[in-house]
Amino acid sequence: MSPTRKAQDLAEAVGREMYRRDRTSQYLGIALEEIRPGYARMRLRVGEEMVNGHGMCHGGFIFTLADSAFAYSCNSHNHNAVASGCTIEFLAPAHVGDVLTAVAEERALAGRSGIYDIDIANQDGKRIAVFRGKSHRIQGETVKTQGE
């Protein structure tokens, strides 16, 4: 098996196992659509219970979607990683019925630290927010690899 195929298979196994344990994403209806080494794409449909007093999607739900994509992308190498910091910039509102997609991409990975950029767009491709997360690797793995 090629190293690229092995890394992809591992990322997919990590994604399946993380999602199995990810009660928050399951509860909110956040779906993992794609995962690759250093990459994740997740989707959320904005429900009526997700709007704030202005009738727009509460920023906390947009943040949670972005944070989830960040988590899957930075754990895709099967080295447990957690957020050490993150920022979000809200660019446009989302509304009930909108389908938001967060695409997380690894920008840098050095030692135990990583940087990930996440774009959140609606079903029309309009960018709703941008998120940057910094990860820190901790002990452990999500899935056991062959030979352990």
Q: Domain containing 8 — which CATH number?
A: 3.10.129.10
Q: Are 132 and 65 in contact (CB under 8 A)?
A: no
Total-model pTM? 0.95
Does 147 score more than 60 pLDDT? no
Whether 127 is in a domain gets the answer yes
Which residues touch 22 (CB under 8 Å, ≥6 apart)? 68
As for how many domains the chain has, the answer is 1
Whether 146 is in a domain gets the answer no
**Pairwise CA distance, residues 120 & 107, whole Å:** 16
- Sheet architecture: strand order including 127-137: 31-36, 39-45, 99-110, 113-121, 127-137, 81-90
pLDDT tens profile 110-133: 999 999 999 999 999 999 999 999
Does 144 score more than 80 pLDDT? yes
Whether 23 is in a domain gets the answer yes
Confidence of residue 1 (pLDDT cuts 50, 70, 90): confident
Q: What is the DSSP letter of 1?
A: -
Please name the residue that has the structure tokens 């941008």.
130
Does 148 score more than 60 pLDDT? no
The pLDDT value given to residue 146: 66
Whether 95 is in a domain gets the answer yes
**Position with higher pLDDT, 147 vs 138:** 138
The pLDDT value given to residue 145: 80
Per the structure, the complete domain to which residue 40 belongs is given by 3-137
Whether 148 is in a domain gets the answer no
**Pairwise CA distance, residues 43 & 69, whole Å:** 9
Q: What is the mean pLDDT of residues 49-60?
A: 97
pLDDT tens profile 56-96: 999 999 999 999 999 999 999 999 999 999 999 999 999 99
pLDDT tens profile 12-41: 999 999 999 999 999 999 999 999 999 999
Whether 100 is in a domain gets the answer yes
Whether 147 is in a domain gets the answer no
Whether 144 is in a domain gets the answer no
